[in-house]
Amino acid sequence: MTLTIGGLSLGIGLLLGLLGGGGSILTVPMLVYLAGMDPKAAIATSLLVVGLSSGVATLPHARLGNVCWRAGAAFGLAAMAGAYVGGRLAALIPGQLLMQMFGVMMLVTACAMLFKRRETEANATSSCPRSPWILWAIAIQGGAVGCLTGLIGAGGGFLIVPALTLMGGLSMRAAIGTSLLIITANAFAGLTGYLNHVQIDPTFAGGVTTLTVLGSLFGSRLAPHVSSQALRSGFGLCVSAIALYILHRELDLPLLVKLLGIHKEFWLGVLTVISTVLLYRLSAWLKKNGAQHHL
């Protein structure tokens, strides 16, 4: 079991370095189902592991000029605020319901990776955005993604990278490097929210983090030389399979109906999702106006 967790930790770090995301979306299931951790403790530990690993993996990308600092600051500051709020809201939601939300988010992420990749690449440019309109659009995306990251410990890189390419017009390599910077800030903001009600085992977290950091450094070194197309497709299928497994284990419809009746804050979550969609529309409008402003 220890060797399995160690191998997966290296693999998670490798994905972070190569693709600018994918860490927590595998770390949480690993900690819950292999290490036997409580879901909330697993999410908090995941935020710590992925935050440290992403920070280290950012350095090689920054040296290659693949980090857009303005876009990263706009997205990251808004995401940090959203992640802290999401981490605090998680105290109000049962662990089983959080895992169900995690499974749904994994399916959404997998679909985005499998079916939106070509559109993302086609809309990307090589320059970092400077228009205030586009930076505002990126910030709005950041707040929404940050809240999801803080709440369920996932939805970081594989939502950040498409947001940066579609909303910010970044190339894939620039989006990956900037995503790692944002994930670092995002994860620690979400962790701050969790530390109010969850304790982390420092020895276990330190071991997993060390292996993940090593993997992320190796992935960052490989990133300039490896095409991410096949990796994204294969990883999308892997994420789909894990999501279906989580939902199969965690989804209890009678209990879910009961929980929805007891925990009225779920409907606040529904309102949050609707608001996120509206904010996405607003960010698209801001991007359009920013493009017209430069014509």
The Cβ of residue 295 has, within 10 Å, a number of other Cβ atoms equal to 4
Rg from Cα positions in the chain: 18
Q: Which of 54-63, 194-203, 277-286 has the lowest mean pLDDT?
A: 277-286
Q: What is the pLDDT of residue 174?
A: 84
What pLDDT score was predicted for residue 225? 75
Q: Please tell me which of 84-98, 184-198, 225-239, 271-285 the model is most confident about, judged by mean pLDDT.
A: 184-198
Give the three-class secondary structure for 1: coil
The SS3 assignment for 35 reads coil
The C-alpha atoms of residue 86 and residue 178 are separated, in whole angstroms, by 22
CB distance 189 to 80 below 8 Å: yes
Averaged over 250-270, what is the pLDDT? 65
Average pLDDT over residues 226-249: 71
- Phi, psi at 74, each rounded to 5°: -60, -50
pLDDT tens figures, 38-88: 888 888 888 888 888 888 888 888 888 888 898 888 888 888 888 788 878
67-81, 108-122, 238-252: which range is least confident on average? 108-122
Give the least confident one: 14-18, 73-77, 175-179, 263-267. 263-267
Burial of 248 (0-12, 13-18, 19+ CB in 10 A): exposed
Q: For residue 169, which of 145, 199, 200, 137 has the smallest C-alpha distance?
A: 137
pTM: 0.66
Q: 35: how many CB neighbours lie within 10 A of its CB?
A: 17
Task: Say what the pLDDT of residue 260 is.
Answer: 63
The band of 247, judged by pLDDT with boundaries at 50, 70 and 90, is confident
Q: What percent of the chain has pLDDT above 70?
A: 72
